[in-house]
Amino acid sequence: MSLLSGSAEEADEHTGKGLYLETYGCQMNMADSELILGSLAAHGYTPVESPEQAEVVLLNTCAIREHAEQRVAQRVRQLIAQRRDGLRVKIGLAGCMAQNHRDRLLESIPGLDFVVGPDGYRRLGELLAADEPVVDVKLDRRETYEDIAPRRGEGVRAWLTIMRGCDRRCTFCIVPSVRGRERSLPASVLLADLQRIAEQGYKEVILLGQTVNAYSHEGVDFGELLRRAASVEGIERIRYTSPHPADMNDSAIAALSETPKVSPYLHLPLQSGSDAVLTAMGRGHSVDEYRTLVCTLREAVPDLALSTDIIVGYPGESEADFEATSAFMEEMAYDHAFLFKYSRRDGTHAAKLAETVGEEEKGARLQRLIAEQEERSGRVNQATVGTVTEVLVESPAKRQKDWLAGKNPQFKTVVFEPAGARIGDIVSVRVEAAGPHTLRGKQVDSPKS
Ligand code: SAM
């Protein structure tokens, strides 16, 4: 969970109507919250730092797993219970959980004022003016919000949504039904926004989409968009998430290897290392095709860091399927992995299947993969000790006084003893120690920007 809002001074001095926003879930939701802030600015709303300062309290939600929805339901009930009598504070839900449960939410959460899905944000200003509880969950396959400027947060890194929705039909996934069909923004709009991002001083951009590499607009594919994005001066690094393995075509791979600004880091969801499970999930590729893709990528980009998503306990996942996942993760030598227990989502194809792996067994499988990945990440990171890596400095280090922290091109967190570096600089750091989550070192040159 994160809180998206303006600075403390802005909150104290806010002149418009106060908007308190909490964001749950993926980076697309974070970017959507920036869009909501941008859209509501035109209606006189300014972000505030606490629900007590707000006229509107909005939770931008996630539906990907049941647990994510339960947390939000609990939080919104708590906020409604805290609403002081007599105050006209409106409380509402936006995003994927809102879309998933729609008007049923008004019944199940008494006191809720509004429910708005991912394609309803441009109407939010009007919804907030309504006297009655309102629901806007119309999906619109043309909605890209290309004319709405997001209100981006502070920092060295900006998000840029390049496509919305998902046309894949992974059997476990609720995203296609809550975010609708795939649609891409025009390259000209994205490049103009990138120009603004550069002018605002951001050094890195993360291109976002549910299947980001399915980007396609009037003959411009994802690879071509990466090349064009790299021509924007001031943007030093380009990342993207999440690509789908089956959409990782030659154009994208060539752009990765030939465009120095495109970072050598790829988050490539695998879900399972068993062909039987991949087929049951409708992922559209086999284990061997994924292996071949990673070999090609590693040949093209030798210093590539690789991370993945894995689901354990999908209906029908046998002990042997699970062992295949564990072994394949080791073979891939992932730098990092996001590991999940399968969560049944009503409305998906997989919801019709009987669950065959008990909660306890799912937990045990998850714990085993977590332990294996922790050990593997430590080993992979240890191999970087003694090398020099380029760090985009983003903040003071959390634990070490006077040290700084940032990410290297492989998206690893590096904390280091500075020698003149400031936030926003790109500096060379010699790695002196490494754990599974962090590299530590010393700055060895003067800043480059
Ligand atoms: N579009 C990406 C893809 O599948 O290639 C991933 C998007 S999803 C927001 C992030 C991850 O959540 C998925 O890769 C998957 O591992 C996990 N996930 C999605 N649905 C799930 C479910 N029903 N249960 C558990 N994990 C799930």
Q: Pocket of ligand 1, candidates 26, 64, 346: which has the most ligand atoms within 8 Å of its Cβ, to mutate?
A: 64
pLDDT of residue 416: 98
| 310-326 as b/e: b if 16+ CB within 10 A | bbbbbbbbeeebbebbb
Nearest ligand 1 atom to the CA of 309 is 16
269 alpha carbon – ligand 1 mean position (Å):
8
CA–CA distance, 163 with 182 (Å, rounded to integer): 7
Nearest ligand 1 atom to the CA of 244 is 5
* pLDDT of residue 5 exceeding 90: no
Q: Pocket of ligand 1, candidates 27, 177, 311, 345: which has the most ligand atoms within 8 Å of its Cβ, to mutate?
A: 311
CA angle, residues 275, 276, 280, in degrees to nearest 5: 110
Nearest ligand 1 atom to the CA of 343 is 24
Q: Pocket of ligand 1, candidates 163, 177, 309: which has the most ligand atoms within 8 Å of its Cβ, to mutate?
A: 309
In short, whether 278's Cβ falls inside 6 Å of ligand 1 is no
- Reported as a pLDDT band with limits 50, 70 and 90, residue 386 is very high
Strands (E), 24-89: 45-47, 56-61
* pLDDT of residue 182 exceeding 60: yes
In short, whether 343's Cβ falls inside 6 Å of ligand 1 is yes
pLDDT of residue 9: 43
Residue 365, H or E segment: helix 359-382
In short, whether 283's Cβ falls inside 6 Å of ligand 1 is no
277 alpha carbon – ligand 1 mean position (Å):
14
Q: What is the mean pLDDT of the chain?
A: 95
Could you report the per-residue pLDDT of 250-273, keeping only the tens digit for each?
999 999 999 999 999 999 999 999
Could you report the per-residue pLDDT of 232-249, keeping only the tens digit for each?
999 999 999 999 999 999
Bond before 242 cis per omega within 30 degrees = yes
Could you report the per-residue pLDDT of 134-156, keeping only the tens digit for each?
999 999 999 999 999 999 999 99
Q: What is the mean pLDDT of residues 85-101?
A: 89
Could you report the per-residue pLDDT of 216-236, keeping only the tens digit for each?
999 999 999 999 999 999 999
The alpha carbon torsion through 284, 139, 35, 71 (nearest 10 deg) reads -80
In short, whether 342's Cβ falls inside 6 Å of ligand 1 is yes
Nearest CA to ligand 1 atom 5: 244
Q: Which of 32-41, 51-60, 85-94, 225-234 has the lowest mean pLDDT?
A: 85-94
pLDDT of residue 198: 98
**What does pTM read for this prediction?**
0.94
| Backbone φ and ψ of 224, nearest 5° | -65, -40
CA–CA distance, 120 with 350 (Å, rounded to integer): 28
Helix axes 250-258, 287-300, angle to 10 degrees: 30
pLDDT of residue 87: 65
* pLDDT of residue 8 exceeding 50: no
In short, whether 307's Cβ falls inside 6 Å of ligand 1 is no
Beta pairing partners, 115: 93, 135
270 alpha carbon – ligand 1 mean position (Å):
10
Nearest ligand 1 atom to the CA of 310 is 16
Could you report the per-residue pLDDT of 329-370, keeping only the tens digit for each?
999 999 999 999 999 999 999 999 999 999 999 999 999 999
In short, whether 121's Cβ falls inside 6 Å of ligand 1 is no
| 328-367 as b/e: b if 16+ CB within 10 A | bbeebebbbbebbbbbebeebebeeeeeebeeebbeebbe
Nearest to 261 by CA among 96, 25, 380, 426: 426
